[in-house]
Amino acid sequence: MTLKEIQDLLEAELLVGGNDDLKVKPSSACGSDLLSDVLAFTKERALLLTGLTNPQVIRTAEMSDLIGIVFVRGKRPDSATLDLAGVKKIPILATRLPMYEACGRLYRGGIKGCSEVK
């Protein structure tokens, strides 16, 4: 599933990134509000769903080689976070769906969890 299909499935808005970024396919996805867990357990090229919106989320995505971030339950990051995502070239989506429902739609759509991919 591409980021574009993910955007449609989550009725999400693209806050950072362009059409080329939406062609990217994540290897897996992870839903977490604990960055330590993201650093310890995600796989490279994973998509992160989170309710955290501070700039360290972008740093964590950078270090973990994540391909994008979805902010859930209507959270809007501040400009510092969005600017950093632009600099680091990490696409950002925002959905009004709560975490469980956003993750559920993606899992039902066929995106695997981080423990299910090598």
Partner 1 sequence: MENRDPLFEVSREIVGADFQSAGDISGEVKKILLQAGFPPPFIRRIVIAAYEAEMNVVIHAFKGIFTTVIYPDKVHIVIDDEGPGIPDLELAFQEGYSTAPPHVRELGFGAGYGLSNMRKCSDTLKIDSHVGEGTRVTMDFLVKSQRDGAEVEK
Matching residue, tokens 């070239």:
89
Q: Applying CB under 8 A, which residues contact partner 1?
A: 33-41, 43-44, 50, 52, 54-57, 59-60, 62-65, 80, 88, 118
Would you say 41 or 109 has its CB closer to partner 1? 41
**What is the rounded CA–CA span in Å between residue 18 and residue 5?**
14
Specify the residue, 58 or 94, whose C-beta has the smaller distance to partner 1: 58
User: Of 8 and 54, which CB lies nearer to partner 1 in the complex structure?
Assistant: 54
| Nearest distance, CB of residue 57 and partner 1, angstroms | 7
CA 106 – CA 113 distance, rounded (Å): 10
